[in-house]
Amino acid sequence: MGRIIFVTGGARSGKSDYALEQADLAAGSKVFIATAEPADTEMAERINAHKLQRSSGWKAIEEQVNLADALADTANEDVVIVDCLTLWVSNMLCREIAPEPMFDSFICEMKRERAGTLYIVSNEIGMGIVPDNALSRRFRDMAGKLNRMTAQAADEAVLVISGIALTIKS
């Protein structure tokens, strides 16, 4: 039976690096599910930089909305990384898709029996100021809700701060 490890932290805290480093220690098949989309040049450069961090043995799946479906295709893999939930929430809100039903499907699929380890990466965004507009507040609220749901369903949770990983649930 596989493990679910939730990795959270602030922007540029090292959470994706941590998940990749841990995953690279494992043998077997590896899948990276990316939720980012190259909407502009800067984001395309960020995506490319993330791709260059992964060794050649990784299979990549790019899925901006139907994350549960993408995850369903990886149940027999040894290691899977989903990076990241906050971009996924943003993608849904920008497309005016109700996130809550998608959250339920994702959590259900996440908890399904897996062969290997699943790392789920997400930004912790609730430690900052209250956003000044309705869309940003909705994003913060939805991301916070999804993070709570994911952490609760995970076997382990790790908070990465300034490149230092702290186990907050084991």
Q: How far is CA 103 from its chain centroid?
A: 12
The CB density around residue 93, as the number of other CB atoms within 10 Å, is: 17
Residue type, 155: D
Compute the distance between CA of residue 146 and CA of residue 104 in angstroms, rounded to an integer: 9
5: tokens are 């490890």
Active-site option among 17, 24, 47, 50: 50
For the residues of 16-38, what is the DSSP string, one character each?
HHHHHHHHHTS-S-EEEEE----
DSSP 3-state assignment of 105?
A: helix
Rg of the chain over all Cα atoms, to the nearest angstrom:
15
- Give every CB contact of residue 162 below 8 A, 6+ residues apart in sequence: 13, 14
Angle at 26 between CA 33 and CA 144, to 5 degrees: 40
Residue 81 falls in the annotated catalytic set:
no
Which residues does the annotation mark as catalytic? 50
